[in-house]
A and B are shown apart, each in its own frame.
Chain A
Amino acid sequence: MNNLLKPPRVGRRAFKVWLRNRDTWLKFYRASLVGNLAEPVLFLLAFGLGLSRFITDIDGLPYINYIAPGLMLAAAMNAATFECTFGAYTRMSAQKTYDAIIVTPVSIEEVAAGDILWGASKGFLSAIVILAVLVPWGLAASPWLLLAPLLFLLSGLMFASMSMIVTAFAPSYDYFAYYFSLVVSPMFFFSGVFFPLTSLPAWVRTVSWFMPLTHAVNISRGLATGNVSASLLLDGLWMLVFTLAAGWLAINLIKKRLIK
Chain B
Amino acid sequence: MNEPVIRASGLRKEYSGLVAVRGIDFEVERGECFGILGPNGAGKTTTMNMVQGYSPLSGGELRVFGLAIEKHPRKIKARMGVVPQENNLDPDLTVGENLRVYARYFDIPKKEGALRADRLLGFVALSEKRDEKIPTLSGGMKRRLLVARALVNDPELIILDEPTTGLDPQARHLIWQKLRGLKKSGATLALTTHNMEEAAALCDRLVIMDHGRILDEGSPRQLLERHVKGSVFEFEAGGERLRELLSCLEGIKQESETAGDTIFIYTDEAEEVLRRTACFSEIGFRHRRATLEDVFLKLTGRELRE
Interface of A toward B, CB cutoff 8 Å: 13, 16, 19-20, 23-24, 27, 95-97, 99-107, 259-260
Give the contact stretch, choosing among B77-85, B177-185, B237-245: B77-85
Cβ-defined contact, A23 with B97, below 8 A = yes
A40 to B253 Cα, complex, angstroms: 86
Q: A27-B92, A104-B102 are in contact. List 6 more A-B contacts (CB 8 A).
A: A19-B104, A95-B88, A103-B84, A105-B74, A259-B55, A260-B15
In the complex where A24-B92, A100-B88, A104-B105 touch, is A260 in contact with B55 (Cβ < 8 A)?
yes
Residues of A within 8 A of B74 (CB): 105, 107
Question: What are 26 A-B pairs at a CB distance below 8 A?
Answer: A13-B105, A19-B101, A20-B90, A23-B101, A24-B90, A24-B93, A95-B88, A96-B86, A96-B88, A97-B88, A97-B90, A99-B84, A100-B89, A103-B77, A103-B84, A104-B78, A104-B102, A104-B105, A104-B106, A105-B77, A105-B78, A105-B105, A105-B106, A105-B107, A259-B55, A260-B15
Task: Tell whether B301 is near chain A: CB-to-CB under 8 Å.
Answer: no
Closest beta carbon of chain B to A100's beta carbon, Å: 4
A259, B88: Cα distance in complex, Å: 17
B54 on interface, CB distance cutoff 8 Å: yes
Interface class of chain B by DSSP: loop
B16 CB to nearest chain A CB (Å): 9
Interface positions of B (Cβ within 8 A of A): 15, 52-56, 73-74, 77-78, 80, 82, 84, 86-93, 97, 101-102, 104-107, 153
**Measured between C-beta atoms, what is the minimum distance from A1 to chain B in Å?**
15
Give CA–CA (A191, B88) in the complex, Å. Answer: 41
Report the Cα distance A99→B52, complex, angstroms: 11
**In the complex, what distance in Å separates the CA atom of A97 from the CA atom of B104?**
15
Given A16-B105, A20-B101, A259-B54, residue A104 in contact with residue B77 (CB < 8 A):
yes
- Minimum distance in angstroms from A99 CB to a CB of chain B: 5
Which of B73, B84, B107 has a CB less than 8 Å from the CB of A100?
A: B84
Query: A19 — which chain B residues lie within 8 A by C-beta?
Result: 101, 104
Docked CA distance A20–B105 (Å): 9
For residue B5, give the distance in angstroms from its CB to the closest CB of chain A. 16
Q: Is the Cβ of B101 less than 8 Å from the Cβ of A103?
A: no
A16 to B104, CA, bound (A): 7
Closest CB in chain B relative to A242 CB, distance in Å: 30
Distance, CA A119 to CA B106, complexed state (A): 23
Q: Please tell me if the beta carbons of A107 and B93 are within 8 angstroms of each other in the complex.
A: no
Inter-chain contacts of A99 with B (CB < 8 A): 54, 84, 88
A20 CB contacts on chain B under 8 angstroms:
90, 101, 104
Measured between beta carbons, the chain B residues less than 8 angstroms from A100 are: 84, 88-90, 102
Minimum CB–CB distance from A57 to chain B (whole Å) comes to 47
Q: How far is the CB of B142 from chain A (nearest CB, A)?
A: 12
B84: chain A residues within 8 A (beta carbon): 96, 99-100, 103
A95 near B82: Cβ-Cβ < 8 Å? no
Contact indicator B105/A101 (Cβ below 8 Å):
yes
Bound: A107/B73 CA distance, A: 9
Q: How far is the CB of B301 from chain A (nearest CB, A)?
A: 28
Chain B residue nearest to A95 in the complex (CB): B91
Partner of A103, one of B15, B54, B107: B54
CB-based contact A95/B55 at 8 Å: no
Q: How far is the CB of A101 from chain B (nearest CB, A)?
A: 6
> Nearest CB to that of A17 among chain B residues?
B105
The list of the 8 closest CB pairs from A to B, nearest first, reads A96-B88, A104-B105, A24-B92, A100-B88, A103-B82, A105-B74, A105-B78, A106-B105
Q: Which residues of B contact A97 (CB under 8 A)?
A: 88, 90
Name the distance in Å between A119's Cβ and chain B's nearest Cβ.
16
Question: Which residues does chain A contribute within 8 Å of B54, judged by CB atoms?
Answer: 99, 102-103, 259
Closest to B150 in A: A103
- In the complex the two chains form, what is the Cα distance from A102 to B101 in whole Å? 14
Q: Which B residues touch A27, using CB under 8 A? A: 92
Known contacts A260-B15, A260-B55: A95-B90 contact under CB 8 Å: yes
* Nearest CB in chain A to that of B53: its residue: A103
C-alpha spacing A16/B56, complex, angstroms: 24
How many whole Å from A215's CB to the nearest CB in chain B?
34
Complex: chain B residue closest to A110, CB-CB: B105
CA distance A44 to B105 in the complex (A): 42
| Chain B residues within an 8 Å CB radius of A95 | 88, 90-92
Nearest CB of chain A from residue B94's CB, rounded to whole Å: 9
In the complex, what distance in Å separates the CA atom of A107 from the CA atom of B56? 13
Considering residues B55, B86, B88, B97, which has the most beta carbons from chain A within 10 angstroms of its beta carbon?
B88
Min CB–CB distance A254 → chain B (angstroms): 14
Q: Within the complex, what minimum Cβ distance (angstroms) separates B250 from chain A? A: 54
Interchain CA distance A99-B83 in the complex, whole Å: 11
A73→B162 CA distance, assembly (Å): 48
In the bound assembly, the distance between CA atoms of A103 and B73 in angstroms comes to: 9
Residues of A within 8 A of B15 (CB): 260
